[in-house]
C-alpha cells in the first residue's frame, strides 16, 4: 500500500527509502592529490549533454573527501562491473582504497583504472550548489569502454545486477 508524506523531519528515513526505489549504477570517482589520489563511491552519475560531452555527479558536503573534489580541476568516473561490489564498498568507506585497483595516472594526474565497464576522464566544467550536495559537471576528455560484463546496480539499499526481461 502506498503512503504519502512530506520529505522532512520524522519522515526522513521514509524519504530515503522512496529514493532507493530508483535503481542506479555504481561509480567510483577519482581525483588527484599531492600524495597520489583519492576516490569515493557515488551513484549520482548522469549524462548531461552529448555535444559537448558533459556528465555530472553529486558530492555530499559533509564528506571528508568533499574539499579535495571541490578543488580538483580534473576527475575520472569509473562505472563498476557486477563483480566489483567489494570495490564499491571500499571506496564508500576508505579514502585509501586505490590499492584495490592498482591505478595508473592520466596526464592530469588523476588516478584511473581499466577494470571497469566505462571510464570518463573529465575536466571540471562547473559546480552548482544543491542543498547538502554540490553537483559537479565534467567535460569529458577521454572515454574507456569495456561492454563485456554487466553493471553493478544499487536499489532498495542493496547491490545487484541487471537481468534483461
- Give the range among 8-17, 27-36, 118-127, 145-154 with minimum mean pLDDT: 8-17
Q: What is the mean pLDDT of residues 136-162?
A: 93
Q: Is residue 95 part of a domain?
A: yes
CA distance 142 to 64: 28
- How many domains does the chain divide into? 1
Whether 32 shows a pLDDT value over 70: the answer reads: yes
What average pLDDT does this structure show over 140-152?
Answer: 94
Q: Is the pLDDT of residue 22 over 90?
A: no
Residue identified by cell 565534467 is 138
Is residue 19 a part of any domain in this protein? no
CATH (domain of 54): 2.30.110.10
Please, which pLDDT band fits residue 95 given cuts at 50, 70 and 90? low
Average pLDDT, stretch 3-29? 86
The answer on pLDDT for 152 being more than 80 is yes
N- to C-terminal Cα distance for the chain? 25
Chain centre distance of CA 147: 18
Summarize the confidence of residues 84-99 as an average pLDDT. 89
Q: Do the Cβ atoms of 43 and 153 come closer than 8 Å?
A: no
Q: String of b and e for 91-103 (b: at least 16 CB within 10 Å)?
A: beeeeebbebbeb
Q: 68 falls in which pLDDT band (50, 70, 90)?
A: very high
pLDDT for residue 9: 82
Asked if the bond preceding 30 is cis, omega within 30° of 0, the reply is no
Mean pLDDT of 155-165: 87
Burial class (CB in 10 A: 0-12, 13-18, 19+), 40: buried
User: Would you say residue 57 lies in a domain?
Assistant: yes
Domain that holds residue 47: 25-150
Residue 19 is predicted with a pLDDT of: 81
Rounded average pLDDT over 43-47: 94
Residue with cell 583519492: 38
Mean pLDDT of the chain: 93
Residue 96 has pLDDT above 80, yes or no: no
Evaluate whether residue 146 is within a structural domain. yes
Percent of the residues in the chain that have a pLDDT greater than 70, as a whole number: 99
Amino acid at each position: 500500500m502506498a503512503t504519502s508524506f512530506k520529505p522532512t523531519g520524522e519522515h526522513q528515513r521514509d524519504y530515503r527509502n522512496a529514493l532507493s526505489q530508483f535503481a542506479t549504477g555504481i561509480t567510483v570517482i577519482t581525483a588527484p592529490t599531492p600524495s597520489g589520489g583519492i576516490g569515493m563511491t557515488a551513484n549520482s552519475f548522469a549524462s548531461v549533454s552529448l555535444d559537448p560531452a558533459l556528465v555530472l555527479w553529486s558530492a555530499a558536503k559533509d564528506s571528508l573527501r568533499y574539499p579535495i573534489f571541490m578543488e580538483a580541476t580534473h576527475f575520472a568516473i569509473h562505472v563498476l562491473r557486477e563483480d566489483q561490489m567489494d570495490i564499491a564498498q571500499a571506496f564508500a568507506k576508505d579514502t585509501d582504497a586505490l590499492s584495490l585497483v592498482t591505478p595508473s595516472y592520466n596526464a592530469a594526474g588523476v588516478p584511473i583504472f581499466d577494470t571497469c565497464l566505462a571510464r570518463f576522464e573529465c575536466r571540471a566544467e562547473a559546480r552548482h550548489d544543491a542543498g547538502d550536495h554540490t553537483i559537479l559537471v565534467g567535460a569529458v576528455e577521454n572515454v574507456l569502454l569495456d561492454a563485456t560484463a554487466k553493471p553493478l546496480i544499487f536499489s532498495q539499499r542493496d547491490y545487484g545486477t541487471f537481468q534483461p526481461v
